[in-house]
Structure 1
Amino acid sequence: MMLFAALLSWFLVGLFIHYSKRLGWGQPVRKDGPQTHLAKEGTPTAGGVPFVAALLIMFLVLAVTGGLSGPNASREVLILLAALGMGVIGGLDDLLKIRSRSKGSGKKELLAREKFPLQLLVAFVFAFFAAPLASHQLFAGFALIGGYPLWDMLLIALVMVASVNAFNFTDGIDGLLAGVGIIVLLPLVALSPVAALLVAVLLGFLWFNAHPARVFMGDMGSHVIGAVAAGAYILYADLWLLPVAALIPVVAALSVIIQVAYFKRTGKRVFRMSPIHHHFELSGWPETHVTVRFWVITAAMTSLAWWLLGGRP
């Protein structure tokens, strides 16, 4: 099933690139960023759309063929619905960006004050159903209303939103987020069919997204990766281990928060550019070195997370 998912993703992403170029859906590049990125001007964006489509198609095939029968079926449906909900938010952002570039006018993107409430809404709906199904109770004995783990729900919702945004910040250089997402989710392949299918479709996407990238991921893809990672770790592993395995997304998000807060306070920058992968590029690291080294760090931290878990689902 994973092989078919990877091949379907590869086909759909390739098709998407072909038609995106014909329609002129190119990504602009920040002029204040690494100079090596200027050559990427016009590369098709929103590449998450075709691999998310492949994920949904293969999930439906799995459901129809009986591959989702069993006690974990509800968990899988919940993870997928949360991912699709977050993906729609990211996809709307991608659509606005593409329309504004092609027409030269109109709303350019979703603002944070518009995006964040929508993310919270999806996260709280997910958390309401996920809290009783989580791998274990997070706040044992605290404020259970009618037996419902309220505090668990609040924490799960916050982690879901944080994960989506942290993985989104990790996108920005060729192959980085796709590789990080694959590595973080790899230990869950045998536990969660949705995680397994996402790993597979990301492999198909990475074929085109590896340096030099022929397509960029966009917000739909990054939102879906963050949502599946959060959902799978919450329901099958341990919520507290997600920031260990996903250290690179955590650091990427923190670098943006620190940079913005410090600049507003002092008018100066802590990093040459944020998120932090751009800082290393501007410090002289080749883009491919940043990508591979961040993959290595992710592999080490994911291994540490599952060692801490003791290998138990």
Structure 2
Amino acid sequence: MMVVAALLSWFLVGLFIMFAKRYGWGQPIRQEGPQTHLKKEGTPTAGGIGFVLAMVLCWLGMYLTGHGGGQKELLLILAALGMGAIGLVDDLLKIRSRMVGGKKELLAREKFPLQFLVGLIFAIFAAPLAPHTWVHGLGLYGDIVLYTLVMVGAVNAFNFTDGLDGLLGGVSIIVLLPLLGVSPVSVLMVGVILGFLWFNAHPARVFMGDMGSHAIGGVAAGAYILHADVWLLPISAVIPVVAVLSVVLQVLYFRRTGGKRLFRMSPIQHHFEELGWPETHVTLRFWIITALGTALVWSVLRGTLPVI
């Protein structure tokens, strides 16, 4: 099924690129961002529409034939769609602002309540199905709060990791590898990202946009909650964690010091670009770091290391 998902994603993303070029659905590039990125202005964005659609269609086919994976996998699909829909609104605003002007994106005060709502709904249904109870003394209620925060945090962390050609796609595939034997939706997500990467490899012909990154974050967080160990997610997804922390630290340091910067630019991948690392070097090295973290997680899940 991974092969089918990859091929369908490749077809749908390629079809999306064709329409995006025809109608001008291009990515606006921030002038204050890395100067090497200015040439990417107008590259088709919101390519996540293609691979998320491919994932859903493949899952529906599996579900109708009795191989959909049950309640847990349904929750993962719904989490991906819920978070992806929020990202899609952001993508459409960006495309529209570049074409005709107007509002450029969802504000944080608009986006976060929606993310928390989707995360809370997921957590309410996921807590009774998860293999562990983590917030001792509070039972399911504590876990609902924890899983909501993990879901929202993961979605934003994976979103901040996007921004370099192939970076988030490669990181996400590696993060999901330990779950391929237990989660059909994770298998499909890996497959559709592979199809997407055909076009997103440097130099990218399409960007996934917020719909793609939000859906990936939802699946990654949900799969670790429902099938593994929620505390292993930040070890495997070390790059998304560092990316979101770099943004938070940059903002806090900027406000505390009256305008000074802790990093040359955030998220952290752009800091290394500003230091002179080629984009492809940053991407590959971040993949390597992710692979090391995921290897540790895999060892824990296989029982070769104690879970502390």
1:79 aligns with 2:76: yes
**How does 1:131-170 map onto structure 2 within 5 Å?**
131-140=127-136, 142-144=137-139, 149-170=140-161
- Aligned partner of 2:284 in structure 1 is 292
Alpha-carbon offset, residue 136 of structure 1: 1.3
Residue 210 (1) aligns with residue 206 (2):
no
> What's the CA shift for 1:139?
2.5
2:162 matches 1:171: yes
| Structure 1: runs of 5+ lacking an equivalent | none
Which residue of 2 is the match for residue 278 of structure 1? 270
Inter-partner Cα distance in structure 1 for 2:149 and 2:45: 28
**In 1: Cα distance, 2:124 partner to 2:30 partner:** 40
1:108, distance to aligned residue in structure 2 (A): 1.4
Partner of 1:304: 296
Using the size of structure 1 for normalisation, the TM-score is 0.95
* Cα RMSD, aligned residues only: 1.1
Alpha-carbon shift at residue 306 of structure 1 (Å): 2.0
CA distance, structure 2, for counterparts of residue 294 and residue 218 of structure 1: 20
Write the distance in 1 (CA, Å) between the matches of 2:124 and 2:261: 40
Match of 1:222 in 2: 213
| Partner Cα separation in structure 1 for residue 49 and residue 33 of structure 2 | 26
Residue 85 of structure 2 is matched in structure 1 by: 88
SS at match of 1:18: helix
Range with bigger deviation, 22-31 or 244-253: 22-31
Alignment match, 1:101:
98
Cα distance in 2 between the residues matched to 1:65 and 1:230: 26
**Does residue 223 of structure 2 align to residue 232 of structure 1?**
yes
Residue 311 of structure 1 and its aligned partner are, at CA, apart by 4.7
**Are the aligned partners of 2:155 and 2:216 in contact in 1 as well (CA < 8 Å)?**
yes
Distance in structure 1 (CA, Å) of the matches to 2:51 and 2:99? 23
| Offset at residue 143 of structure 1 (A) | 2.5
| Counterpart residue number, 1:125 | 121
- In structure 1, the residue corresponding to 2:127 is in which secondary structure? helix
C-alpha deviation, 1:310, in angstroms: 3.2
**Post-superposition offset of 1:34:** 2.2
Which letter maps to 2:127? Answer: A
Shift of 1:117: 0.3
Post-superposition Cα deviations, 1:21-58, rounded to whole Å, max 9, x if no partner, equal 11111112222222221211110011111100001110
Is residue 5 of structure 2 the alignment partner of residue 2 of structure 1? no
**Is 1:190 the equivalent of 2:176?**
no
Partner of 1:115: 111
Within 1, Cα distance between the matches of 2:131 and 2:293?
21
Partner of 1:56: 56
CA distance in 2, matches of 1:31, 1:108: 14
1:201-250 Cα deviation digits (max 9, x unpaired):
00000000010000011000000010000000001010000000000000
Q: Distance in 1 between matches of 2:41 and 2:123?
A: 39
CA gap 1:73/1:311 in 2 versus in 1, 3 angstroms: farther
After TM superposition, what 4+ stretches of structure 1 lie above 6 angstroms from structure 2? none
Query: Partners of 1:7 and 1:306 in 2: how far apart?
Result: 27
Distance 2:8 2:87 in 1: 22
Match of 1:43, SS state, is coil
1:189 shift after superposition: 1.1
Structure 2 length as normaliser, TM-score?
Answer: 0.96
Residues in 2 aligned to 1:292 and 1:112: alpha-carbon distance in whole angstroms: 30
What is the aligned length?
303
* Structure 2 unmatched ranges of 5 or more: none
- Distance, in Å, in 1 between the alignment partners of 2:33 and 2:208 is 18
AA matched with 2:152:
V
Calculate percent identity across the aligned residue pairs: 69
Distance 1:3 1:165 in 2: 29
Measured after TM superposition, the shift of residue 307 of structure 1 is 1.5
Partner of 2:16: 16
Q: Deviations over 1:263-299 (max 9, x none)?
A: 1221110101000000000101000000000000000
